[in-house]
């Protein structure tokens, strides 16, 4: 078993504000969820650091310096940041895996995606274009695209640096200034990246990173009068509060929230691929994925065989320390998340039948490890079928036919993602049209590309990230009317 080299010292981080490292006077501990040990301490920011960070962002934006940088220059800065991330990919992946518990191999994919995201939006900076509007008068009517201003960006812990990139890259490309708040559990890679921001040419104040808790750092940031836009990724419960808090100053808001995504298997699907797809859909990243295929809908004709095969393969999933290269599932991120997943495992035993898992695995004296768990004969009204668990827990639900499958799939408050498995392209496409979700995969689940839109229907949020859609969320449209007549208007 090849191990990646580990660090032993505890690093201390301040907040990154106005291009400087700023002490908040106190720090909070950051853990390695595989050992439960403190591996770093980060600034416990509160309202006064939020004020400073927003002031720095406002100054960078209002001075006109950053928004008036040429698109080429903004693009080059993002390319340089992407290069820096690639050059330091091994170190970042190790830090990410240690801090959030994901297997190192998955962390390496994440970091590669981070670099690609900055590169993509570096390229898009020079493609932001306005319009000439075909008005009927002797006038030139233009639509200009302008950066929205100062963006508050609040992110979760499951893909820490990738979520930071999904927020920062389009905002910077558009010419916005940012205040980023990583999740309290996983601030390390974003802080690590901050060390390079000046070097790649970002003026001070364009990106500020404040660490801290949701209530004391996140809430004042959302309420702050100096913020023009809030981009939030996290739970639906917190998202609802953010929308209310942002309403007082009518901030623009985008919400990327949770899901309870159906992964639908028709009897004519490629069986082996289907089993892999069901496991990958729900267990990748310990199931801590907003688009996790946590409702596994299986046609009755193949149901028993499917549950059996899925269970057999799930039992072989290799749990282990995040830094071991053969680990397929690490610990969940925190004690709080561990308790949450464990409580749903116990609830599931009352609501449905347990096929495998359902507890803490043996052989791990410490760390927030939970067994990959499959419940079957789950009714779609059960709490384990309706509530987002955000851990490795699958609810397998039988269905009769196509109509039944679509009915169950859409019977959810969420609408982030779904997948359909079938060799019948007509059936698959009918399902694609009928499913109310922002992302629908056919014969796969989870591939995500910076070129394609990401976001939810229903209570999975609104707004879209990634692709050209992502940059739209950071742009305002200004209409300009230029009168080409030399005579007075002649009304009075």
State yes or no: is 117 an active-site residue: no
Q: Which of 45, 176, 178, 290 is catalytic?
A: 290
Single residue of 126, 235, 249, 413 touching ligand NDP by CB under 6 A:
235
Cα 332–45–58 angle (5° rounding)?
115
Closer to ligand NDP by CB, 202 or 219: give it: 219
CA dihedral for 14, 15, 21, 24, sign (positive or negative): negative
Residue 451, both tokens = 């070129």
Q: Shortest Cβ distance from residue 256 to ligand NDP (Å)?
A: 4
- Binding segment toward ligand NDP, per CB under 6 A, in 97-105, 118-126, 232-240, 479-487: 232-240
Residue whose token pair is 């199931």: 287
Residue whose token pair is 């932001």: 128
Residue whose token pair is 């929230």: 257
- C-alpha torsion 217→219→225→230, nearest 10: 100
What length does the chain have? 492
HEC per residue, 158-192: CCHHHHHHHHHHHHHHHCCEEEEECCCCCCHHHHH
- Confirm or reject binding of residue 473 to ligand NDP (CB under 6 A): no
Strands 229-233 and 252-256, sheet pairing: parallel
Closer to ligand NDP by CB, 302 or 409: give it: 409
Backbone angles phi, psi at 318, to 5 degrees: -85, 110
Residue count, binding to ligand NDP (CB under 6 A): 29
- Confirm or reject binding of residue 214 to ligand NDP (CB under 6 A): yes
Run of H or E residues at 491: none
Within 13 Å of residue 453, how many CA atoms lie on the same side as its CB?
Answer: 16
- Confirm or reject binding of residue 415 to ligand NDP (CB under 6 A): no
Q: Shortest Cβ distance from residue 199 to ligand NDP (Å)?
A: 26
Closer to ligand NDP by CB, 259 or 281: give it: 259
- Which stretches of 202-297 are DSSP H helices? 219-223, 236-247, 271-283
Single residue of 241, 361, 453, 468 touching ligand NDP by CB under 6 A:
241
Q: Shortest Cβ distance from residue 89 to ligand NDP (Å)?
A: 21
State yes or no: is 290 an active-site residue: yes
Single residue of 388, 439, 446, 474 touching ligand NDP by CB under 6 A:
388
Do 385 and 397 form a contact (C-beta atoms < 8 A)? yes
- Confirm or reject binding of residue 470 to ligand NDP (CB under 6 A): no
Single residue of 49, 96, 113, 256 touching ligand NDP by CB under 6 A:
256
Residues from 108 through 167 that contact ligand NDP (CB under 6 A): 154-158
Site map 50..89 versus ligand NDP, x via CB under 6 A: ----------------------------------------
- Binding segment toward ligand NDP, per CB under 6 A, in 43-51, 181-189, 267-275, 424-432: 181-189
Single residue of 222, 279, 314, 389 touching ligand NDP by CB under 6 A:
222
Closer to ligand NDP by CB, 253 or 302: give it: 253
Do 311 and 371 form a contact (C-beta atoms < 8 A)? no
Backbone angles phi, psi at 233, to 5 degrees: -125, 125
- Binding segment toward ligand NDP, per CB under 6 A, in 39-47, 138-146, 253-261, 307-315: 253-261
- Binding segment toward ligand NDP, per CB under 6 A, in 110-118, 140-148, 256-264, 350-358: 256-264
Closer to ligand NDP by CB, 214 or 398: give it: 214
- Which stretches of 196-247 are DSSP H helices? 219-223, 236-247
Strand order in the sheet with 131-133: 131-133, 139-147, 475-483
Single residue of 53, 176, 188, 238 touching ligand NDP by CB under 6 A:
238
- Confirm or reject binding of residue 181 to ligand NDP (CB under 6 A): yes
Residue 213, both tokens = 């808790």
Q: What is the distance between the alpha carbons of residues 281 and 292, in angstroms, rounded to a whole number?
A: 6
Q: Which residues are catalytic?
A: 256, 290
Binding site for ligand NDP (CB under 6 A): 154-158, 181, 183-184, 213-215, 218-219, 222, 233-235, 238, 241-242, 256-259, 290, 388, 390, 416, 456
């Amino acid at each position: 078993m090849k191990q990646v080299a580990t660090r032993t010292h505890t690093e201390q981080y301040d907040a990154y504000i106005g291009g400087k490292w700023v002490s908040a006077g106190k720090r909070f501990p950051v853990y390695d969820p595989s050992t439960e040990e403190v591996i770093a301490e980060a600034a416990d920011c509160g309202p006064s650091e939020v004020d400073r960070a927003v002031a720095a962002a406002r100054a960078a934006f209002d001075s006109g310096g950053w928004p008036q940088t040429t698109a080429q220059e903004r693009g080059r800065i993002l390319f340089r940041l992407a290069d820096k991330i690639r050059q330091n990919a091994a170190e970042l992946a190790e830090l990410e895996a240690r801090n959030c518990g994901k297997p190192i191999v998955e962390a390496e994919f994440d970091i590669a995606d981070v670099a690609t995201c900055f590169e993509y939006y570096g390229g898009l900076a020079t493609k932001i274009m306005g319009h000439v509007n075909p008005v009927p008068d002797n006038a030139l009517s233009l639509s200009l695209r302008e950066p929205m201003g100062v963006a508050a960006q609040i992110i979760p812990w499951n893909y820490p640096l990738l979520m930071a990139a999904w927020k920062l890259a389009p905002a910077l490309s558009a010419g916005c200034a940012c205040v980023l708040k990583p999740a309290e559990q996983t601030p390390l890679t974003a802080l690590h990246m901050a060390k390079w921001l000046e070097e790649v040419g970002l003026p001070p104040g364009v990106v500020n990173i404040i660490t801290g808790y949701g209530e004391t750092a996140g809430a004042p940031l959302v309420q702050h009068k100096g913020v023009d836009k809030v981009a939030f990724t996290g739970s639906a419960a917190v998202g609802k509060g953010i929308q209310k808090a942002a309403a007082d100053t009518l901030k623009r808001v985008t919400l990327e929230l949770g899901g309870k995504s159906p992964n639908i298997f028709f009897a004519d699907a490629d069986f082996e691929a289907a089993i892999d797809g069901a496991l990958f859909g729900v267990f990748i990243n310990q199931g801590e994925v907003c688009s996790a295929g946590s409702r596994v809908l299986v046609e009755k004709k193949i149901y028993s065989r499917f549950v059996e095969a899925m269970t057999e393969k799930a039992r072989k999933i290799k749990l282990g320390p995040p830094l071991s290269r053969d680990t397929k599932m690490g610990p969940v991120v925190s004690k709080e998340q561990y308790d949450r997943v464990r409580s749903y495992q116990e609830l599931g035993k009352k609501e449905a039948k347990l096929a495998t898992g359902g507890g803490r695995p043996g052989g791990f004296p410490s760390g927030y490890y939970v067994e990959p768990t499959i419940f079957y004969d789950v009714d779609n009204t059960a709490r384990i079928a309706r509530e987002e668990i955000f851990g490795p827990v699958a609810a397998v639900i039988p269905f009769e036919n196509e109509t039944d499958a679509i009915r169950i799939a859409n019977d959810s408050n969420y609408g982030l993602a779904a997948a359909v498995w079938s060799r019948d392209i007509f059936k698959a496409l009918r399902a694609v049209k009928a499913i109310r979700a922002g992302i629908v995969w056919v014969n796969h689940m989870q591939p995500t590309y910076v070129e394609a839109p990401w976001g939810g229907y229903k209570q999975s949020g609104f707004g879209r990230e990634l692709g050209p859609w992502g940059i739209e969320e950071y742009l305002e449209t200004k209409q300009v009317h230029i009168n080409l007549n030399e005579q007075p208007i002649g009304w009075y």
